[in-house]
Amino acid sequence: MCGIVGYVGKKNAKNAVEVVLKGLKKLEYRGYDSAGIAVVCNNLLHIRRSVGKLCNLTDKIAQDPISSNIAIGHTRWATHGKPSENNAHPHTDASNSIVIVHNGIIENYADLKSQLKENLKDFKSQTDTEVIVHLIKKYYKGDLLDAVKKTLSKVKGSYALGVICKDDPYTIICARQEAPLIIGVGVKENFIASDIPALLTYTRDMIFLENGDIAKITKDKIVIIDKEGNEQNREIKTINWDPVLAEKAGYKHFMLKEIFEQPRTIEETLRGRIYPNEGKIHVEEVKLNKEDVRNISNIYVIACGSSYHAGFVSKFLFENFAKIPTEVDIASEFRYRNPILSEKTLVIAISQSGETADTLAALRLAKSKGCQTLAICNVVGSSISRETNHVVYTHCGIEVGVASTKAFTGQLTALYILALDFASKKESLSKEDIKKYLQELWEIPVKIGDFLENAQELNKIAKLFDQKKDFLYLGRHVNYPVALEGALKLKEISYIHAEGYAAGEMKHGPIALIDESIPIVSIATNSKVYEKMISNMEEAKARGATIIVIASSNNREVLTKSEHVIYVPETDEFVSPLISVVPLQLLAYYISVNLGCDVDQPRNLAKSVTVE
Ligand code: M6R
């Protein structure tokens, strides 16, 4: 996880320190337990590192300034070695001449370290990373690129690497293997970064490095060598993201802004793909024709966290709309349990970042078994999106808050489109039904917009419950995964224990938990399981629970069955998760704010989990 940024430009043209710190700020979602930066100035390396968030490093630099035309920086999410200044990157060799930043895990670091017997006294950290810099130094005979190449030929694991050397204050060497790294192409300046937002203020022209690439970057030139040792001209992609979207735009937190962006991001994900009036669907990126879809014997959906919850909803869609048996699996389980796959299996990987290590590994497993693969991703050019046969992008723009909100509803939207596309190709739903669902989807952005006009109402409820220690979230059918997602939102940003349950499972154990102290958040929107939900709420109420219910706006019955009703606009039951999740996002958000938690960067988490 960790984020890296590097800059090299004309002497005195721009302060590299400022560029790197601004870039790191945009990457803090990748990790924020420590940060550091290295520059070359007057042929000496200068390093500043700090524990905690980036602001600590910025303060340190303000007290002890450095400037240069070249810099590499890092924001860390600890894997090996606790968050401390010694373990913070950059790491340097004993003579302070070469310095590196690294994102990833060096799997054979202990082995490599034991081979560097004469250098053991030089190791200053407990990280897996430090061994790389000592190896580079060992191989360095005046050619930094060559020394990095030799080093990486010994390394097993994943890395995105930035390296600079005091002897060459005009060159950054970088490399990528299983961890994202992009090069930003400028005029008389060039950049490296783990992700696009870090560079958008400076350039929109980006090169996405491939696994095994090593690059030598100066202000005027970028030379990329592939894993076979051949020079490559990688395509420069122009990124059209609006940098303002990566800012808070007046909202107190990114998460709140991202919740409010959902009407637009859902609309963007639908636009150009569905035509409700004609009942037509056109997903250009998916090159599966009628025969291909008819040949799919079963679907496996693989993902982690919120993306897994979105995938769980899609089981109902693929089975009910397209009549294709569908299993949903947590990627970290799927990859180790020898699933039964065939060439007729379609494996759908869902990932906002497109970099989640377990999802990527599960996808590769599916590919190795000859399955067709399809990804639902938000980040263009990400590893998962590049490695699948088909990719459907969610057009959500940058999601900065660690808690997934607009990415989740974007993923759901893409899954609805896909399931209806398959249903249309298989003719497993009537034309009228497809039209009906497309119309329902098309109306969702306006309905969420209407609901969000009264978002503050959720804060009134949040204030009544923010001191509770445990919450239960109940749902059935398509809203069971939404209950799981609601509980995850609360856990991750407020640190309150919360569990999501299939409401029908209550009687089989969890009901024993219920007493006056536990609020129950129940999703009881109009559907064929509504009556069942009401019965489950009655059972909980009879045992003293306080019920907060999410209900359809035309429902008056729920007023007598619960203490608090949150009305959401009416919609078809299959489409309802797109709306019912929004109050759960807001409830978690307000509780977190009221508790004074760090909403956008909750403890122990990172936005993109690129380690297993
Ligand atoms: O980038 P991905 O969608 O692959 O990320 C998967 C999970 O790490 C992510 O959804 C995580 O659960 C979020 N923090 C949930 O809010």
Least confident of 28-37, 275-284, 340-349, 449-458: 28-37
Q: Which is more confidently placed, 524 or 2?
A: 524
Same domain, 407 and 336: yes
Answer yes or no: do 279 and 428 share one domain. Answer: yes
Query: What is the number of structural domains in the chain?
Result: 3
Pocket lining: 522 vs ligand 1, CB cutoff 6 Å: no
Q: Whose CA is nearest to atom 14 of ligand 1?
A: 403
Q: Ligand 1 centroid vs 605 CA: distance in angstroms?
A: 10
Pocket mutation for ligand 1, best pick of 77, 259, 309, 356 (most atoms within 8 Å of C-beta): 356
As to burial, measured by CB atoms within 10 angstroms (0-12 exposed, 13-18 middle, 19+ buried), residue 453 is: exposed
- Whether 306 is in the pocket of ligand 1, judged by its Cβ within 6 Å, is yes
CATH number of the domain that residue 208 is part of: 3.60.20.10
Are 83 and 10 part of one and the same domain?
yes
Q: Which pTM value belongs to this model?
A: 0.78
Pairing, β 157-165 against β 98-106: antiparallel
Hey, what are 96's tokens? 């302070």
Residues 234 and 250 in one domain: no
Nearest atom (ligand 1) to Cα of 403: 16
Given the residues 137, 315, 447, 607, the one annotated as active site = 607
Specify if 599 maps to a domain.
no
Determine the Cα–Cα distance for residues 474 and 555; give it in Å rounded to an integer: 18
Cα(484) to ligand 1 centroid in Å equals 13
Q: What is the CATH number of the domain that holds 346?
A: 3.40.50.10490
- Ligand 1 test: best mutation among 302, 335, 352, most atoms within 8 Å of CB? 352
Do 414 and 464 fall into the same domain? no
Query: In this structure, what token pair is assigned to residue 122?
Result: 């030089």
Distance 352 CA to ligand 1 centre (A): 7
CA of 538 to the centre of ligand 1 (A): 34
Could you tell me if 332 and 447 lie in one domain? Answer: yes
Residue 402 CB–ligand 1 contact under 6 Å:
yes
pLDDT in tens, 94-151: 999 999 999 988 888 989 999 998 888 899 999 999 999 999 999 999 999 999 999 9
Question: Which of 451, 477, 496 is where one domain is finished?
Answer: 451
- Does 507 participate in catalysis according to the annotation? no
Strands 34-41 and 70-76: antiparallel
Return the exposure string of 222-252: e unless at least 16 CB atoms fall within 10 Å of the residue's CB, then b.
Answer: bebbeeeeeebeeeebebeeebebbeeeeee
Q: Ligand 1: does its nearest atom lie under 6 Å from the Cβ of 585?
A: no
Same domain, 186 and 253: no
pLDDT tens for 229-253 read 999 999 999 987 776 665 676 789 9
**What average pLDDT does range 389-405 have in this prediction?**
91
| CB 492 near ligand 1, within 6 Å | yes
Find tokens 């005029």 and name the residue: 187
Q: Are residues 78 and 218 in the same domain?
A: yes
250 alpha carbon – ligand 1 mean position (Å):
25
Which residue carries 């399931």 as its tokens? Answer: 419
Of the pLDDT bands very low, low, confident and very high (cuts 50, 70, 90), residue 420 is very high
Nearest CA to ligand 1 atom 8: 305
413, part of any domain: yes
Please say which residue of 209, 239, 269 terminates a domain.
239
Q: Is ligand 1 within 6 A of the CB of residue 356?
A: yes
Q: How far is CA 314 from CA 15, 320, 393, in A?
A: 49, 10, 16
Residue 600 covered by a domain: no
Q: What is the mean pLDDT of residues 30-55?
A: 92
Q: Is residue 611 one of the residues assigned to a domain?
A: no
Within a domain: 605:
no
Q: What are phi and psi of 168, to 5 degrees?
A: -135, 80
Task: Tell me what the pLDDT averaged over the chain comes to.
Answer: 94
Tokens coding 34:
């420590």
Closest by CA to 138, choosing from 109, 171, 113, is: 113
Q: End of a domain among 431, 451, 471?
A: 451
Q: Are 164 and 172 in contact (CB under 8 A)?
A: yes
608 CB near ligand 1 (under 6 Å): yes
pLDDT value, residue 249: 67
The rounded percent of the chain whose pLDDT value lies above 70 is: 98
Ligand 1 atom at minimum distance from 608 CA: 1
Q: Is the C-beta atom of 353 inside 6 A of ligand 1? A: yes
Pairing of strands 189-193, 182-185: antiparallel
Residue 1 pLDDT grade (very low, low, confident, very high; cuts 50, 70, 90): low
Q: Are residues 138 and 222 in the same domain?
A: yes
Domain of residue 298: give its range. Answer: 246-451
- Does residue 434 form part of some domain? yes
pLDDT of residue 612: 76
Instruction: Report CA(338)–ligand 1 centroid distance (Å).
Output: 24
Which amino acid is residue 457, in one-letter code?
Answer: E
Considering the domain architecture, whether residues 193 and 289 belong to the same structural domain is answered as no
Please write the tens of the pLDDT for every residue from 546-573: 999 999 999 999 999 999 999 999 999 9
Q: Measured in angstroms, how far is the CA atom of residue 225 from the centroid of ligand 1?
A: 32
**Dist. CA 607 → ligand 1 center (Å):** 7
Query: Within this chain, do residues 256 and 153 fall inside the same structural domain, yes or no?
Result: no
Note whether residue 607 is domain-resident: no
SS3 13: coil
Query: Residue 382: CB within 6 Å of ligand 1?
Result: no
The percentage of residues in the chain with a pLDDT greater than 90, rounded to a whole number, is 82
pLDDT digits (tens, 9 = 90+) for 65-94: 999 999 999 999 777 888 899 999 999 999
DSSP secondary structure, 351-397, as one string: ESSS--HHHHHHHHHHHHTT-EEEEEESSTT-HHHHHSSEEEE----
Bigger pLDDT: 490 or 378?
Answer: 490
Distance CA 156, CA 108 (A): 6
Is 257 noted as a catalytic residue in this protein? Answer: no
Pairing of strands 564-568, 546-552: parallel
* Cβ–ligand 1 contact at 103 (below 6 Å): no
Pair (356, 461) in one structural domain: no
Please check whether residue 610 lies inside any domain of the structure: no
Tokens of 124: 């200053």
CA atoms within a 13 Å half-sphere pointing along the CA-CB vector of 53: 12
